Chain A
């Protein structure tokens, strides 16, 4: 890669356009249409472009109404919204940014925001935050960790997802187990999962005659995760074991540290030798394994309450914290946020929309739908269920954000190049977590070597 020649963005895009136009010129002999349309007369109204995933249902309707209200309150700003399906958004957003058709306000999930920021695609919001008195402490502060880096903030959290362990009370009752306490331990969790795994004859996984080829009920499952690797929800377990994914400066991963290896080992054993976690093959294609009654416990956030009610689950359930361990106990929270592209034409107006969508009335309205979490601390109580079910919803999903819990709230700053990191984990850990064999220490060492090299190459600190 020597002798690299830098080309300006303008000349590059111009060149590409010209190149694309060449065949048109060759194919069409007709004269080109008369010159470009005359510039529109100056208008007092500024039109901004806003793109977000959320193409369907209540979310779309809700945001359409928010935008209408915003335009009512800000008559000098007109907002064009583009709602996209999640996967389409992930393709369309970089294409728009690369093509110079830059929206003025965009959605960013915490897992990609640092990647976009690293590439210079996002504006630092700190000057506006300071000017307009937008303070991280008014929101769930841990969420800002995921959106900030070396003094800059690239997005305002728009929602929150506090992870906890949902459990099926009926299954605990049937097994004669006490419900998990808030301060339960990793050992309690592990033992419960074993006791709650039953074969077709009703024998638990701890029974020597347990039939692993004929399991009717599993003890635990991850929500939408194939492996407990590199995610924010898994970080709660890793921290409880006393480890972490990265060092503070993000110069290296810590996954070869013993606590992290212990974390991997526990889940690998639970899946592959103790059979108390279904394989992806056993769990997929059946909706939520927890809500369909396949598993007694799952790690999930408040959405599980919403969907349990939507799906009218026929069992009693509750939620508690991710278990404690030698490293402590943690409430892990994830989120998405709103960001302003660095090259947006109307950054100021985009920022106004960010502020509006994270304002108290909007956040309260979102919370009242009970479907999405909120990021503003004053509004977090609105997501609590009116019927008081599950009983410990507030303890897990809102109290830690109100300062009414001793459990420490953490988030997770995903470093740039998540897709590549995911690939590395898949290469090394898939054999282990699909029970195809492999050694955890070797997988961790290989992963560390590659991820550390990537971090070093990124020079992100």
Chain B
């Protein structure tokens, strides 16, 4: 047993630790790990929820490759992820830096910028419907004011995904708060030293802020990619995958397969394909992070 060899105090602390995490651990094992294991089994079966399941081997995985909508949903999801994550990171970092300035009423600004992150999804959807309405919405009114061509936003297959990317900026609150915490952890002495060395604002950002913040950037990027690959709620509420399946993201398609078309085995196979993609991207990011993430303690 791992606890053997520990001192009495260490053993006591370990037991206390396990007891504290036990409620979460039990919940995780019962409601996350268990169903995940079950879904592996399901992915090798044909099961419509109501009839006895049939073992079909790898047929569901083979079928994944042959189903156009699988590829379309993966493309939609990848498009969204690779545009929204960098954009969200940049805007969240920029906003966090502004909210880190010593200004009067800064707390109010921080609250204001964080508010959209706590808005209910349905309220968000209604709000965006109004903003994006091509005839009477604010978005096109702004474009008209600037003399730019108007857009159909969510209602055209060419603009629907970019619109989702744009809407993702509305939810930068959490990322921004993590950046803000990271910024506040950078010692002022580093900026002072850089200033004495003649560094201007850009130099200080490039040589102090970015390296010191790089672990936080990595953290937000990993979470951002994982979250973006799982985009569901807005698409479910606002477009239900349309028009022309242009916003049929993978999790929405997976939901449809499982709970509307009752192809639970196929849906499970798709879920594991998505899991594998997310895992690969996460591992690649972690591997590449060696080259650009700086850990103050020297792990990097």
- Which A residues have a C-beta under 8 Å from some C-beta of B? 1, 3-9, 12, 15-16, 19-24, 27-28, 87, 90-91, 94-95, 97-98, 115-116, 119-121, 215, 226, 279-282, 284-286, 417-420, 423, 426-427, 430-431, 434, 436
Contacts and interface: CB of A to CB of B under 8 A. Distances in A.
Nearest to A112: B260
A388 B29 CA distance: 61
A436 B244 contact: yes
Contact of A90 (B52, B126, B259): B259
Contacts of B262: 94, 115, 119
A119 B41 contact: no
B64 to A, nearest CB: 14
18 contacts: A4-B54, A7-B54, A12-B53, A20-B34, A20-B35, A21-B34, A23-B29, A91-B259, A119-B50, A120-B50, A226-B242, A281-B153, A281-B156, A282-B133, A286-B136, A426-B245, A430-B245, A434-B155
B152 A281 contact: yes
Interface in B143-159: 152-157
A284 B56 CA distance: 44
B134 A24 contact: no
Nearest to A94: B49
B256 interface: yes
Contacts of B57: 3
A9 to B, nearest CB: 5
A28 B262 CA distance: 34
B45 to A, nearest CB: 8
Contacts of A1: 46, 56, 59
B126 to A, nearest CB: 7
B54 A5 contact: yes
A362 to B, nearest CB: 30
B51 interface: yes
Interface hub of A15, A97, A434 (most chain B Cβ within 10 A): A434
B133 A286 contact: yes
B136 to A, nearest CB: 7
Closest 6 pairs between A and B when the two form their complex, measured CB to CB: A20-B34, A285-B129, A281-B155, A419-B260, A98-B49, A119-B50
Nearest to A226: B242
Query: Size class of B's contact patch?
Result: 35 or more
Is chain A's binding surface mostly helix, strand, loop or mixed? helix
A281 B239 CA distance: 11
Given A3-B57, A19-B41, A24-B29, 9 more contacts: A23-B29, A94-B262, A97-B49, A98-B50, A98-B264, A280-B155, A285-B132, A285-B137, A427-B245
Contacts of A97: 49-50
A27 B52 contact: no
A431 B156 CA distance: 9
Interface of B: 25-26, 29-30, 33-35, 37-38, 41, 45-57, 59, 69, 126, 129-130, 132-137, 152-157, 236, 241-245, 255-256, 259-262, 264
Given A23-B34, A286-B136, A427-B245, A279 B52 contact: no
A427 B243 CA distance: 8
Contacts of A6: 52, 54
Contacts of B26: 24, 27-28
Contacts of B241: 426
A16 B42 CA distance: 9
Contacts of A427: 244-245
Contact of B37 (A23, A215, A417, A420): A23
A417 to B, nearest CB: 7
B157 to A, nearest CB: 7
A423 B45 CA distance: 23
A279 B41 contact: no
Contacts of B242: 226, 426, 430
B49 A430 contact: no
B34 A19 contact: yes
A4 B56 contact: yes
A98 B129 CA distance: 36
Contact of B41 (A15, A91, A121, A281): A15
Contacts of A87: 236
Given A3-B57, A7-B54, A22 B37 contact: yes
Given A19-B41, A98-B49, A281 B133 contact: yes
B132 to A, nearest CB: 8
A397 B195 CA distance: 79
Contacts of A434: 155-157, 243-244
Nearest to B134: A281
B13 to A, nearest CB: 18
A119 B45 CA distance: 16
B108 to A, nearest CB: 30
A417 B29 contact: no
Nearest to A99: B49
Contacts of B59: 1
Contacts of B137: 285
B37 A20 contact: yes
Interface centre among B26, B38, B53 (most CB of A within 10 A): B53
A20 B30 contact: yes
A374 B216 CA distance: 59
A87 B155 CA distance: 22
A280 B152 CA distance: 10
B51 A119 contact: yes
A28 B54 CA distance: 32
Contacts of B236: 87
B57 to A, nearest CB: 7
Contacts of B53: 7, 12
Given A23-B37, A97-B49, A119-B51, A436 B243 contact: yes
A237 B2 CA distance: 73
B25 A27 contact: yes
B243 A430 contact: yes
A90 B55 CA distance: 26
A116 B33 CA distance: 30
Given A3-B57, A419-B260, A282 B134 contact: yes
A123 B51 CA distance: 14
A5 B55 CA distance: 5
Contact of B129 (A22, A23, A284, A431): A284
Nearest to B155: A281
Contacts of A27: 25-26, 29
Given A27-B29, A286-B133, A121 B244 contact: no
B10 to A, nearest CB: 18
B55 A7 contact: yes
Contacts of B49: 94-95, 97-98, 119
A16 B44 CA distance: 13
